Amino acid sequence: MTKKVKTAITPTREEDYPEWYQQVVKAADMAERSPVRGCMVIKPWGYTLWENIQREMDAMFKATGVKNAYFPLFIPLSFLEKEAEHVEGFAKECAVVTHHRLEKGPEGGLVPGGKLTEPLVVRPTSETIIGESFSRWVNSYRDLPLLINQWANVVRWEMRTRIFLRTSEFLWQEGHTAHSTAQEAVTRTRLMLDVYARMAEEFLALPVIRGSKSAAERFPGAVDTQCIEAMMQDRKALQAGTSHFLGQNFAKASNIRFQTTEETEEFAWTTSWGASTRLIGGLIMTHGDDDGLAMPPRVTPVHVVLLPIIHKPEDRQAVMDYCDSLARTLREKMYHQRQMVVEIDDRDIGGARGWEWIKKGVPLRIEIGPRDIAKDALFVARRDKSHRDKTTIARQQFIDQVGPILDEIQVALFQKALSYRETHTHLIDDKGAFYDFFTPRNTTKPEIHGGFALSHWCGNASCEAKIKEDLTVTIRCLPFDAPQEDGRCICCGAPSNSRVVFAKAY
């Protein structure tokens, strides 16, 4: 039996992945459960990450002409009833406000009073209330396209919750656009999906597959739902962003009409698209290891942490002066249009100090003691490498190279995630092999068990439903880049001309 390596996180990913995830969130001090069931408190380390994600995405949206606005938290019940599929899709998870004040109860305490004549729904998504505004803002073809985004919280009542992945309240952005032609709306749907893919790949270092959902997995009321799907380290898929072409369904429901150049009246073509704090869950599950989180440099709250090593009180001043000066120099540098963030942690708590920063995932840790100062050199550790793997770099050289080093870490995280996905993605054409691939069991070869199966599907909803029922495996997407090839449906054997991505999912 091999000696068990001590890890900062217990249990390890291999031992208990869901519990490992909770422990990483806790150890990195990102968020915690709140007294309100199913809701989370996002702590500064998690919220700063969200702000960084927000800032980058917001800039990308605006570069495509989108403008930000804000709409009410409450939606009149009658609005939600306007689009039949939409109400069907969200009805089971709506929080509903029925009263507007509190009164003294007959036995003391407070009870709801002032019953509302029409209940208000706390937004699960805002198509209907934004649609009402659009119906007033759009009159002529000259008012189109209308490109609006809002940053907000939404509520979808969840019985089984997991921090960042599935919570009753979460933070997100939702974009809503209206267009004069179907083609323009379709183009916009794809454009925004590409923004999400860029956010995921270039900033979060999450390799994603872009594609369309099957009809069964579509957003309620959408004509086409496009998505990006990433593989987590338990080989399950995580949907990391969606963009919907809504056709004229919501325009008809909300009465968004415009006068055309020929002076006829037509319903607008609309889209909606969203990404949420779920991205943080995806980042943790992709880059975390048995020592905690690893932050991609382009979104990390802190790029570099300086750890002064002070054994004798008389060394303190010199070490702190050296650290302060280095921090000042580094903070003047830019890393991808963002001022470099450097922290000095001089807490006297022994080895726990370094481990805290490992668990938080900060990309670069630098230990600085009197001997390093004498050599004018830095003892540097990278989060993408083993915690024992530290190198000495001359101070000036480090200052010159810190940007490229951070880029290397960014690329290394992406490559590691990509090779993990490739290792666990298989072309499967045999039904028995497909069922084996997704059936949990004791196996001598766990490395070829579970992941993404690229298999043929005939397009029939009943085959999709059968696989979901038998294996809890769903079609994650019909990839845009799937080559045309003849094959047979993995379920019924009927002809198919391209493969889809099957996986278990969050």
Cβ proximity to Zn ion: between 7 and 460 the closer is 460
> What's CA 138's distance to the chain center, in Å?
32
Q: What is the token pair recorded at 293?
A: 């989180």
Cβ proximity to Zn ion: between 36 and 461 the closer is 461
Cβ proximity to Zn ion: between 191 and 492 the closer is 492
Min dist. Cβ of residue 477 to Zn ion (A): 17
Q: Does 489 bind Zn ion (CB under 5 A)?
A: yes
Q: Are 28 and 360 in contact (CB under 8 A)?
A: yes
Cβ proximity to Zn ion: between 2 and 484 the closer is 484
Among residue numbers 368 through 397, which ones bind Zn ion (CB under 5 A)?
Answer: none
Element of type H or E holding 32 = strand 31-33
Of 425, 420, 415, 433, nearest in space to 501 by CA: 425
> What's CA 217's distance to the chain center, in Å?
18
Taking CB under 5 A as the binding criterion, the range among 117-125, 128-136, 197-205, 481-489 that sits at the site for Zn ion is: 481-489
Among 130, 268, 463, 500, binds Zn ion (CB under 5 A): 463
Among 161, 181, 460, 498, binds Zn ion (CB under 5 A): 460
Taking CB under 5 A as the binding criterion, the range among 114-122, 213-221, 239-247, 487-495 that sits at the site for Zn ion is: 487-495
Cβ proximity to Zn ion: between 390 and 431 the closer is 431
Q: Does 491 bind Zn ion (CB under 5 A)?
A: yes
Min dist. Cβ of residue 56 to Zn ion (A): 41
> What's CA 175's distance to the chain center, in Å?
16
Cβ proximity to Zn ion: between 48 and 460 the closer is 460
Taking CB under 5 A as the binding criterion, the range among 159-167, 236-244, 405-413, 494-502 that sits at the site for Zn ion is: 494-502
Q: Residues in contact with Zn ion, total (CB under 5 A)?
A: 7
Q: Are 417 and 436 in contact (CB under 8 A)?
A: no
Q: For tokens 């390799």, name the residue.
A: 207
Cβ proximity to Zn ion: between 73 and 471 the closer is 471
Q: At what angle do helices 44-63 and 182-198 cross, to 10 degrees?
A: 140
Q: Are 68 and 150 in contact (CB under 8 A)?
A: yes
Q: What DSSP assignment string belongs to 416-430?
A: HHHHHHHHTEEE---
Q: Does 42 bind Zn ion (CB under 5 A)?
A: no
Among 284, 327, 458, 473, binds Zn ion (CB under 5 A): 458
Taking CB under 5 A as the binding criterion, the range among 171-179, 339-347, 365-373, 485-493 that sits at the site for Zn ion is: 485-493
The three-class DSSP label of residue 170 is strand
Cβ proximity to Zn ion: between 369 and 487 the closer is 487
Q: What DSSP assignment string belongs to 226-240?
A: EEEEEE-TTS-EEEE
Min dist. Cβ of residue 463 to Zn ion (A): 3
Taking CB under 5 A as the binding criterion, the range among 155-163, 228-236, 382-390, 456-464 that sits at the site for Zn ion is: 456-464
What whole-number distance in Å separates Cα of residue 499 and Cα of residue 455?
5
What residues have CB less than 8 Å from 18, skipping those under 6 apart? 162
Cβ proximity to Zn ion: between 120 and 491 the closer is 491
Taking CB under 5 A as the binding criterion, the range among 215-223, 355-363, 364-372, 461-469 that sits at the site for Zn ion is: 461-469
Min dist. Cβ of residue 494 to Zn ion (A): 5
DSSP state of 313: G
Taking CB under 5 A as the binding criterion, the range among 396-404, 421-429, 440-448, 453-461 that sits at the site for Zn ion is: 453-461
Taking CB under 5 A as the binding criterion, the range among 182-190, 328-336, 417-425, 484-492 that sits at the site for Zn ion is: 484-492
- Residues listed for the chain: 506
Cβ proximity to Zn ion: between 310 and 492 the closer is 492
- What is the pattern of x (binds Zn ion, CB under 5 A) and - over residues 403-442? ----------------------------------------
* Secondary-structure percent of the chain, ordered helix, strand, coil, rounded to 5: 35, 30, 35
Q: What is the token pair recorded at 451?
A: 């992941």
Integer-rounded Cα Rg, in Å, for the chain is 26
DSSP state of 43: P
What residues have CB less than 8 Å from 142, skipping those under 6 apart? none
Cα 251 to Cα 76, 130, 215, 316, 462, distances in angstroms: 18, 11, 20, 68, 31
Cβ proximity to Zn ion: between 213 and 382 the closer is 213
Q: Which residues bind Zn ion (CB under 5 A)?
A: 458, 460, 463, 489, 491-492, 494
